[in-house]
Amino acid sequence: MTPQLEPFHAITISAIAQRLMAEGRSVIRMEYGQPSTGAPAAALARARAVLDEEDKGYWESTELLARLARYMEETTGVAVSPEQIVLTCGASPALVIALSLRFAPGARVAIARPGYVAYRNTLRALSIEPVELPCGPDVGYQITAAALAALDPAPDGVIIASPANPTGTVIATEEMAAIAEVCRARGIHIVSDEIYQGITYGAPASSMLPFERQAIVVNSFSKYFSMPGWRLGWLVVPEDLVGQARARMGNLFLTPPSLSQHAGLAALDCGEELDRHVRTYARNRDLLLAALPAMGLARIAPPDGAFYVYADVGHLTQDSMAFCIRLLEETGVATAPGIDFDPVDGHRFVRFSFAVSTSLVEEAIARMVPWFQAQSALVQA
């Protein structure tokens, strides 16, 4: 029998949001983790020029590979050769390639719970067993070295994410080093999802590369570079895996869109514009955090990075999916149900994405505060 996967419930919420918009309703889209800011101006200009100049077929930009290698060294301090970079059609195919490179069917891979829904489902689709580690506020909603050291037997691998989805939490640098040490000692292979690198609100998040050169790193232009629809990502793989990584990319996905590669190369030199986006997310974060007490939401994960607030609504509901649908239908604010990220406790959590414009965050707060207050009054009545 083929593996059976759970649906991505935020997609259902999105479909309802689109229906309401088609009916003329005003909907604020906070259900997806996608920036509303759009690709950098230079990337758009380069794409327009390319459309007029040429029509490439299957193609891999050697210039983009070299620039990404330089970018990785600039941001991690680790020298990476262009040959170790594999261009992908976004982070999702990159994850498939990374997992199939390291793990055979039947392998066991540890993941945090709560964690990104596609980790669990992609592992299962590849007939790899997800080993979900419950991660609560006492450990910053993140996998720790101690938790990996305590697993018996040791898993074959672990997926690390910092900043993380849905919580926005960051693994401290010293904890990253400790995780790498435990994994080396126990033979645990590391896949590090670093697609939210560059989006933090304090100290920068550490890459796994300085601590473990054998780690496979997943990255993407979707988040910091504000290019989710362009479907462009990359892997950093150890030298001994380069051939098999390229074989998987070529056979399963061919090449990323050529237009996206041109635009991505331009985007890598748009740091000033992209950092302005991060400052916008920081303002949005501050607004939402300031509004949470009036909404009666006191138990949240600390959003140190990415652009999410993961909030406990267990005092209002034990069915986060129904809760999100009702919130959307009654206020026009779309959010993601916690069951996407945690099959055990997610029924009492909701994720808000604050990657929309500041004006939309303000409008969402204006709609949600009285609604949440009304829900609290109903529960107390």
| Percentage of the chain lying above the pLDDT 90 cut | 92
Rounded to the nearest 10 degrees, what angle do helices 271-295 and 358-380 cross at? 20
Q: pLDDT tens-digit profile of 59-75?
A: 999 999 999 999 999 99
Q: 376: which 2 tokens?
A: 């609290």
Following CA atoms 9, 15, 16, 17 in sequence, which dihedral angle do they give, to the nearest 10 degrees? 110
SS3 label, residue 107: coil
Question: CA-CA distances (angstroms) from residue 108 to 99, 152, 154, 327, 357?
Answer: 11, 12, 9, 37, 40
Report pLDDT for 55: 66
Sequence-ordered strand ranges (E) for the chain: 28-29, 85-88, 108-113, 129-134, 157-161, 189-193, 216-220, 233-236, 308-312, 333-334, 336-337, 349-353
Residue 367 has pLDDT above 80, yes or no: yes
Report pLDDT for 52: 84
Q: Which domains does the chain have, with CATH numbers?
A: 9-39+272-380 (3.40.640.10), 41-270 (3.40.640.10)
Of 223, 203, 202, 209, the closest CA to residue 267 belongs to: 223
Decide if 194 contacts 224 (C-beta within 8 A): no
**Residues with Cβ within 8 Å of residue 294, at least 6 apart in sequence:** 369, 372, 373
Q: pLDDT tens-digit profile of 225-245?
A: 999 999 999 999 999 999 999
**Residues with Cβ within 8 Å of residue 192, at least 6 apart in sequence:** 159, 160, 161, 162, 207, 208, 209, 215, 216, 217, 218
Segment 300-307 shows an average pLDDT of 93
Segment 262-281 shows an average pLDDT of 97
**Maximum Cα interatomic distance, the chain, rounded to a whole number of Å:** 67
Q: pLDDT tens-digit profile of 99-136?
A: 999 999 999 999 999 999 999 999 999 999 999 999 99
353 by Cβ neighbours in 10 Å (0-12 / 13-18 / 19+) ranks as: buried
Q: How confident is the model at residue 53 (pLDDT cuts 50, 70, 90)?
A: confident
Report pLDDT for 370: 97
Q: pLDDT tens-digit profile of 317-347?
A: 999 999 999 999 999 999 999 999 999 999 9
